[in-house]
Structure formats: C-alpha cells, structure tokens
C-alpha cells in the first residue's frame, strides 16, 4: 500500500493524516507535495500524524527531515504525532527522535504551538 | 526446509519499481528460510536500501544500467549481494549520519540502516567495476538473538583499497 495523505485544519495548526508507506517514489513524493502545498498556503504550523504509517525507508526519513527544515525555514514548526513502533525505532536509531518534537496525543500536540 | 545451497539471482532494471520487487523477492526467501517477522522486516529493509543505493548512487538512475541481485542460503546464513554498474565507492568515504552536522541531512542513511539491521555488511569492488554490497544474516535457530528478532550489531569491515 502506497501513501495516502489528507490534511485538516485545527485552528492555526494543520494536521496531515498519513496512512500506508513512506518510501522511495510515490510515498515520499506525496509527502513532499503535501507539505510544500501547505507552506504555499501559508500554513506553517504542521502536525504529521503517522498513526497508520507502518513502514518508512531512508527516503521517507529524508522527506520528513526535508519537510522539517522547509517548515522551519518559513519560521514554522513541523511536529510528529502517533508514531508506530517501527517508525519510532527508526527515528531513535537515526537519532532523529531527539530532533523532532513527537507527541502521542493530538490535543497536546495542537496546544504545543505558540 | 533445508536451505543448504539455495541460490537465486536476478537482474533488475534501474527503476524505482525494482526496489519493491527486490524487497518482495528477498522477503519470500527469508520467510521460507524461517526468519521471524522482525528479522524479515530488517532483511527486507536492508535489501530495499541496497537497491536504492544501486539505483540512485551507483547507476545514477540511468536506465541503460542494471542492478544485479543475488541471494544465497547456506547452512547457517542468508547472504545478499547487490551489485550496481557505477564506479564504486569506499565505505570510509560515507559520512556518518549520526554525526551532529549530518543529522538534518535528507539522505545518507541507507548504509547505516543496512549495517544496523544485518549481522555482516561489506562493500567490495564488483565484477562490473561498480559497488557490490554483501550482507548476511544468520539463520534462525543458529543464533538465539537472531531467532527472536533481536539482531545484534553488525560488523563493519572496511572495503578493499
């Protein structure tokens, strides 16, 4: 299953709900397109919900990092929500777990934006 | 299943679809060899990263070049070879993705993942002149840590000069 991504607004925060795989090719490209599209609309407070993402490869990790730096470049913030065990393990292995702000509760993630 | 002497070899096109194909093929072999879910995930991910490396860095996404994948099941391990038709590289030249200055790099984690997920990992000069990734995992039952999905740290030998 490739990636499916939709987004919804919660006040000044946009939540991107992802499901499937974030891997080389369509999955990474869709995540990039979604985040860049939000930035183009001026949405710079973004939560990426990975609850239904059970697989991510180095390209997907790279795309999350790319999104993180692109949002930060617009003085915004990109945070992660609901990591599955495999994704959490990968982010810990690659030391990115300390780079991203990660939440397990959506309300807390939303209220974390200033 | 008696895995001794099993050999599988396939030539893949330099295209994104080859990444999934290679992963699926190797997953089938790993499952048939008795690897558990966690080890299958690690093997599949390593094959994926090896083929991505060949596709992107080795063959530079040039469609006229091929990716050569081989899988061997010996009496004690599953060995995977991924050979590209590029110019090769040295492991010692690959930046450490865990270094502070590389943490926000958008690429360069594939080698690290393969090293982490497999028991043995090396890159040698292949017959094509390109890089040949050689990685292996002990068969379940032979190594307790491997059998329960808690694979140990990989060795990180240096490539030939």
Q: Indicate whether B161 pLDDT > 80.
A: no
Mean pLDDT (chain B) is: 89
Backbone angles phi, psi at B114, to 5 degrees: -60, -45
Q: Indicate whether B156 pLDDT > 70.
A: no
Any chain B CB within 8 A of the CB of A69? yes
Residue A48's pLDDT is what? 98
Q: How confident is the model at residue B149 (pLDDT cuts 50, 70, 90)?
A: very low
Report pLDDT digits (tens) over B12-35: 999 999 999 999 999 999 999 999
User: Which of B109, B114, B118 to mutate to test binding with chain A, by most A CBs within 10 Å of its CB?
Assistant: B109
Q: Indicate whether B159 pLDDT > 80.
A: no
Average pLDDT of the residues in B85-105: 96
Average pLDDT of the residues in B124-142: 95
State the residue range of the domain holding A22: 4-108
Q: Which residue has the tokens 């790099």?
A: B105
Residue A34 lies in a domain: yes
Interface of B with A (CB under 8 A): 16, 19-20, 41, 45, 48-49, 52, 97-98, 103-107, 109-110, 112-113, 116
Q: Indicate whether B57 pLDDT > 60.
A: yes
Report pLDDT digits (tens) over A74-104: 999 999 999 999 999 999 999 999 999 999 9
Report pLDDT digits (tens) over A5-57: 999 999 999 999 999 999 999 999 999 999 999 999 999 999 999 999 999 99
pLDDT > 70: what percent of chain B? 86
Residue A114's pLDDT is what? 75
Structure tokens given for A106: 């959506």
| B45 interaction partners in chain A (CB closer than 8 Å) | 57
| A61 interaction partners in chain B (CB closer than 8 Å) | 109
Number of separate domains in chain A? 1
The whole-angstrom separation of Cα A45 and Cα A26 is: 24
Average pLDDT of the residues in B52-80: 97
Q: How confident is the model at residue B5 (pLDDT cuts 50, 70, 90)?
A: confident
Domain locations in chain B as residue ranges? 6-147
Residue A96 lies in a domain: yes
Say which CATH number the domain at A88 has. Answer: 3.30.750.24
Contacts of B6 (CB under 8 A, 6+ apart): B29, B71, B72, B73
Contacts of A39 (CB under 8 A, 6+ apart): A70, A71, A74, A76
Residue B143's pLDDT is what? 54
Residue A114 lies in a domain: no
Residue A13 lies in a domain: yes
Q: What is the CATH number of domain B6-147?
A: 3.30.565.10
């Amino acid at each position: 299953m490739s990636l499916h991504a939709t987004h919804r607004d919660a006040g000044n925060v946009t939540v991107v709900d992802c499901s499937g795989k974030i891997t080389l090719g369509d999955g990474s490209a869709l995540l990039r397109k979604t985040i860049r599209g939000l930035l183009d609309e001026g949405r710079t407070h973004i939560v990426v919900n990975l609850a239904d993402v059970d697989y991510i490869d180095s390209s997907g990790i790279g795309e999350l990092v790319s999104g993180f730096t692109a949002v930060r470049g617009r003085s915004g913030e990109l945070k992660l929500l609901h990591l599955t065990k495999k994704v959490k393990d990968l982010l810990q292995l690659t030391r990115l777990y300390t780079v991203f702000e990660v939440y397990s509760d959506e309300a807390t993630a939303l209220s974390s934006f200033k | 299943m008696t895995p001794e002497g099993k050999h599988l070899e396939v030539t893949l096109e330099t295209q994104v679809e080859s990444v999934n194909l290679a992963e699926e093929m190797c997953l089938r072999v790993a499952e048939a060899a008795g690897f558990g879910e966690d080890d299958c995930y690690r093997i599949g991910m390593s094959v994926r990263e090896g083929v991505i490396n060949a596709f992107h860095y080795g063959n530079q996404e040039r469609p006229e070049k091929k990716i050569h994948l081989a899988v061997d099941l010996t009496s004690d391990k599953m060995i995977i070879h991924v050979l590209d038709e590029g110019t090769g590289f040295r492991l010692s030249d690959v930046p450490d993705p865990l270094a502070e200055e590389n943490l926000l790099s958008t690429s360069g984690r594939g080698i690290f993942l393969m090293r982490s997920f497999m028991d043995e990992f090396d890159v040698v000069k292949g017959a094509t002149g390109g890089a040949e990734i050689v990685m292996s995992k002990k068969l379940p039952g032979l190594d307790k840590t491997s059998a329960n999905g808690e694979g140990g740290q990989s060795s990180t030998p240096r490539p030939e000069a």
